[in-house]
Amino acid sequence: MAIQTVATSPIPGQRPGTSGLRKKVAVFQQPHYLENFVQGVFDTLGNASGKTLVLGGDGRFHNRHAIQVILKMAAAHGFARVLLGQGGILSTPAASCVIRKHDALGGIILSASHNPGGPDGDFGIKYNASNGGPAPEALTEAIYARTLALAQYRISDAPDIDIDTPGAHAVIEGMQVEVIDPVADYAELMSKLFDFDAIRRLFAGGFTMRFDAMNAVSGPYAHAILEGMLGAPAGTVINGVPLEDFGGLHPDPNPVNAEELIDIMSANAAPDFGAASDGDADRNMIVGRDFVVTPSDSLAVLAANATAAPGYADGIAGIARSMPTSQAADRVAAELGVPCFETPTGWKYFGTLLDAGKATLCGEESYGTGSRHIREKDGLWAVLFWLNLLAVRSASVQEIVTAHWQRFGRHYYSRHDYEAIATDSAQLLMQDLRIKLRNLPGQKLNHYEVQAADDFEYTDPVDGSHASQQGIRIMMTDGSRIVYRLSGTGTEGATLRVYLERFEADPAHHNIPTQQALAGLIAIADSVASIVMHTGRTNPTVIT
């Protein structure tokens, strides 16, 4: 074995987005593409001598090849040890758990999260720091800057190693590769946070559930914890084997893409509880019998009932939510007397708040919920939290949520996505909106009066870092909101996300169909932004 220095040149477009670098598989298969980005990561990190790296991914196509490349490059850069998920499998929340438990320098996670997989699908890579969380923007910008100056990368010429047999393997250039059980550390942590005895009794008493792993990485975790440790009947977990193309499914846990689960939960003999997770297991959808819980409501309900779980028995220090997420959690925080932080979209913005002990629970409207236990959102964690709550409350999902609305009011909420639109058109739409902002306050629009309008900016209360142009907000005098934002998670064109929120205090008006309740705001959103003119789209691609 020998370390080789390979000549290369910068490849445009390797700036990480909201959660790492995501491109089509064919892009990552280009000569030097993966190697250049990994070299940029290692150069930015500096001396790795004696350090541990965590490595794994969601099992999608190209994952196994990328694992071998990264192992050889890590060896060439002096790492002492790599902890590798068996078969290259390691969910994003489990990777965060392993980084923290084993005091690793950081980890490389191979995933495009909820994006489709397969040879014609998407691939992604991101670096998580020593706290287990996504690299902060300063670090990702430094990595990107380094990719623009590369002239070479270093890699061992060692043969591929067996990544499927647990245990320590022969060293590569002095670096030990340890293939670990991807579930063990994570399952141990979950057992400390939740009342597993109460959940076992729940299942033993006849409680039924379906968990849709969407042929993605949460399958092994759900099998081991739900059906293994907690005694849920065999068959509780469906689509539980990770497949390179996710079996043709789009592994995004929402009512549109998790159609099989929605059909099961809408049937006459539906299980008591339903849930789904995404490609890398960091997202979740919670479903009752013919009743879908919005991610915003899920965060608020868990915050209001946090002390039901042993890991949160002492209460919570605060809540953090992304700006487009509904303000339902704000009302819970106010009653609990704790702060609620409004951050830009991207889990990395929660990291400093969690590290400083300012927030305990965090959530994003894009089906992401998590807490201080790791530094990533965590799909199965949210499901276990709900199971713990259901075991304690002896009520259905719908009963718990409707009781929450009666106590705090209901935030009608929806997101309209316009996917794969021309990037130039999307940018022009946002530019035109920014020009209109100053004239919107005071205007009356379709029975609503605009109180304020801005382009959201954020200054981190812990480290003072600043982020601007994080989404355009139009806020009404009655608390309703319209938010426009371009997504950073797609790989084709641009995705315009339009978020709509209306607060209703009166329980007598809590059962209006969501799109009907939001109809006035939808019309305003289309009109103010001239969506049809800019995009050519008369309807959203996806409504959630």
Q: E strand or H helix at 473, and its extent?
A: strand 472-476
Edge-first strand order for the sheet with 340-343 is 340-343, 319-322, 361-364, 368-371
Residue 20 is classified by DSSP as B
Q: Which of 19, 96, 111, 113 is catalytic?
A: 113
Helices marked H in 284-442: 295-304, 328-336, 351-355, 379-393, 397-408, 423-436
> For residue 536, what are the contacts with CB-CB under 8 A and spacing of at least 6?
421, 425
**Which residues make beta-bridge pairs with 24?**
122
**Residue 393 vs residues 51, 84, 389, 400: alpha-carbon distances, Å:** 46, 39, 6, 8
Which residue reads 């329980």 in tokens?
Answer: 507
Q: Is 55 left (phi over 0), alpha (psi -120 to 50) or beta?
A: beta
Amino acid at 206: G
Q: Which amino acid is at 317?
A: A
Q: Catalytic annotation on 113?
A: yes
Taking the C-alpha atoms of residue 366 and residue 247, their distance in angstroms, rounded to an integer, is: 22
Q: How far is CA 321 from CA 75, 303, 349, in A?
A: 39, 12, 10
* Six token digits for residue 475: 């806020």
Q: What is the DSSP letter of 225?
A: I
- Output the six-digit token pair for 27: 């892009």
Dump the DSSP string for 398-418. HHHHHHHHHHH-EEEEEEEEE
DSSP state of 233: P
Q: Are 362 and 319 in contact (CB under 8 A)?
A: yes
Q: Which residues make Cβ contacts (< 8 Å) with residue 486, sequence separation at least 6? A: 426, 427, 430, 494, 495, 496, 497
Q: Residue 326: exposed, middle, or buried by beta-carbon count in 10 A (0-12, 13-18, 19+)? A: buried
Output the six-digit token pair for 62.
Answer: 């190209």
Structure-derived torsion over alpha carbons of residues 252, 254, 257, 261, reported in degrees to the nearest 10? 110
Taking the C-alpha atoms of residue 324 and residue 413, their distance in angstroms, rounded to an integer, is: 10
In the sheet where 410-421 sits, what is the strand order? Answer: 444-445, 448-455, 472-476, 481-486, 494-504, 410-421, 542-543
Q: Which residues are catalytic?
A: 113
